[in-house]
Amino acid sequence: MDLYGAFFPPLWSNWALVGAALWAGRIALQTLAAIQEQARIARDALTKLEKPCVSIGKMEPHVKKSAGEPHEIPWLIYGFRNDGRSVAELNSVLCQVRLYSPKAPMPTSPQYDGLVDKSVFFVGPNSNTGEMRWSCQLPRRLRPDEFAGVLDGTVQLIFFGYVRYLDVFGERRISGWGWRYNPQNDGLTLVGGNSYNYDRKDDSKS
């Protein structure tokens, strides 16, 4: 009779089962983590796809009259567009009109110091603000020599600003723009590069 085996049964098979169970649990956790990561990636991709994308829309500069003479105070009428697939809540708009010249050149980054319109407006997916329009103007009268400079290109008349908006996922964003008056076609030309023209997450508290 094997007395040792009777009182001390072999434990190797039990430890083997425990080890196999631990290994299987580790594999299961790794698999679960991989599934969760794939789900996160898919969710983020879907969220990004469905996000609104707001930018300045139709713009109408009023710098010179039909006969060619200048308006005393140049102004801009504009709206917004949403090229995304969900609703955006516009909640803060700023637009400024400034004159720049070789003696006082346009800053490399925008200096926002104008009045902010904090009225709320909703714009639907793949839509625009329609008849709802905003406006901004030069804060003083345009002098004749300045108007002559705008026409010959020695003076730049710049319209720039931003719109802050909230998307349906609760993220606050800000979209900026910069445009220069083009006297050749009485229109506007994009100016300022990425410093003025952007759409990004808004981390400010204003």
What the block records as the tokens of 18 is 């425990």
pLDDT tens-digit series, residues 65-111: 988 899 999 999 999 999 999 999 999 999 999 999 999 999 999 99
pTM as predicted? 0.76
For residues 116 and 93, the answer to whether their CB atoms sit within 8 Å is yes
Q: How far apart are CA 92 and CA 11, in angstroms?
A: 72
What token pair was written down for 26?
A: 């580790």
Domain boundaries, the chain: 3-49, 51-201
CATH of 51-201, one of 3.90.1720, 2.30.30, 2.60.40, 1.10.10: 2.60.40
39: pLDDT confidence band, cut at 50, 70 and 90?
very low
Q: What is the pLDDT of residues 119-178, one digit of tens each?
A: 999 999 999 999 999 999 999 999 999 999 999 999 999 999 999 999 999 999 999 999
Is the sign of the CA dihedral 146, 152, 153, 157 positive or negative? Answer: positive
